Amino acid sequence: MTAPAKPATAPDAAYRTWIDHTTACATCRAGALCLTAVRLGRVWRKTRRR
């Protein structure tokens, strides 16, 4: 079975990266402002733009 290769810029991948971070990052889990989360969210928004 061959899985479809997803480009790193796909909205799905960017969203997943962001979610993965927020669930693993102590700062994000505490509800504090995390620059990494902000950056990842920005990247995700960019990929969503059509």
Residues within the interface to Zn ion (CB under 5 A): 25, 27-28, 34, 36-37
Residue 20 has phi, psi (to 5 degrees) of: -60, -40
What is the enclosing helix (H) or strand (E) of 5? Answer: none
| Smaller CB separation from Zn ion, 3 or 24 | 24
| Smaller CB separation from Zn ion, 6 or 36 | 36
| Smaller CB separation from Zn ion, 14 or 28 | 28
Closest approach of Cβ 38 to Zn ion, in Å? 9
- Measuring CA to CA, which residue among 35, 6, 9 is closest to residue 22? 35
